[in-house]
Amino acid sequence: MTASGTFGYGLEFADFVDLNKLGGFIVKGTTLNAREGNPYPRSAETPMGMLNAVGLQNKGVDYFAQNIYPLLKDMDTNVLVNVSGACIEDYVACAEKVAALDKIPAIELNISCPNVKQGGMAFGVQPASAAEVVSAVRKVYPKTLIVKLSPNVTDITEIARAVEGAGADSVSLINTLLGMAIDAERRRPLLSTITGGMSGPAVKPIALRMVWQVSKAVKIPVVGIGGITTGSDAIEFLLAGASAIEVGTANFMNPAVTGEIVDYIQDYLVRHNMSSVHELIGALQV
């Protein structure tokens, strides 16, 4: 699949990738109401990675349902919507509206958003607040509920267990790592928000470690995300315990990368005499 916020609505990449060849793609962070996002500059390149502070710019769930969904609904792949919010009521209302869209089989709940009613601390950094938002959404969302976990925590397995207990069908990880970049000559931050989310190949070892830990801690399937840039990277996440993977920042480096990763996985299975990718999941030999 493709990671939220890195593949637009999929159509932006149609010249480079046969979208039907993908397991699915995850539409960018969608909120109840339209959001303008953060001021420019919102990105900074870092060694083998980048920081972003887009701030969930999107036109809101109603716009998506009316204008984008009709373009995507007949695709022969899974179109998922990443649902974000600033308070539990917004998450619930947004998830309900997406639930009404027949051809969207699942949502990915972004719990890394700051809770504006509770001092701005992200829902996903404490087991109780993470479980609270997942329980609330679970009540209104009957289809597959994937919860995207923040890596900016002391023990990600604790959060994973909490959201599993609250009814999540799956967890995806990792969201971006909180980071910062400075222009030394101008003595100023490179992002308008000073800090931002780090992604790209540089975060892969951390993501791989967290996927390994979480897949041991929960019974629900784990979706691996974090710096996946090559087919080999994807295989590594499956071996660490992921049942599926998402490709994010690599789409900015090579817009055709997802198709190439699918081809690599198929070739890998042939080379290793495997009949299904399921044989790779958690198959790390230690």
Partner 1 sequence: MKKYLVDLTVKSVVRLNETCVLLSMTDDKPLPDSRPGQFAELRVDATPNVMLRRPISIHSFDKDANIIEFLVQVVGDGTRWLASLKEGDKINVLLPLGNGFTLPGEAGKRMLLVGGGVGSAPLYGLARELKQRNVDFAILIGARSAKDLYRRSEFEALGRVEYTTEDGSLGQKGYVTNHSLLSEKFDYIYTCGPKPMMMAVARYARENSIPCEASLENKMACGLGACLCCVENTTEGHKCVCTDGPVFSIDELKW
Per-residue DSSP letter, 38: P
Report how far residue 254's alpha carbon sits from residue 233's, in angstroms, rounded to the nearest whole number. Answer: 15
Other residues' Cβ atoms within 10 Å of the Cβ of residue 274: 13
Nearer to partner 1, 102 or 185 (CB): 185
Helices (H), the chain: 61-63, 69-72, 88-99, 127-140, 156-165, 204-217, 231-240, 250-253, 257-271
User: Bridge partners of 177?
Assistant: 198
- To partner 1, the closest distance from the beta carbon of 206 in angstroms equals 16
**Residue where the block lists tokens 């480096």:** 253
Residue 87 annotated as catalytic: no
Angle at 1 between CA 240 and CA 232, to 5 degrees: 45
Binding pattern to partner 1, positions 34-53, x when CB under 8 A? --xx-xxxxxxx-xxxx-x-
Nearer to partner 1, 127 or 248 (CB): 248
CB 81 within 8 A of CB 104: yes
Q: Per the residue annotation, which of 81, 113, 234, 262 is the catalytic one?
A: 113
Among 151, 179, 197, 201, binds partner 1 (CB under 8 A): 201
Nearer to partner 1, 196 or 241 (CB): 196
Among positions 226-265, residues that touch partner 1 (CB under 8 A) are 249, 251-256
Nearer to partner 1, 16 or 268 (CB): 16
- To partner 1, the closest distance from the beta carbon of 278 in angstroms equals 31
Interface ranges with partner 1 (CB under 8 A):
5-8, 12-13, 15-16, 28, 36-37, 39-45, 47-50, 52, 54, 57, 200-201, 249, 251-256
Positions marked catalytic: 113
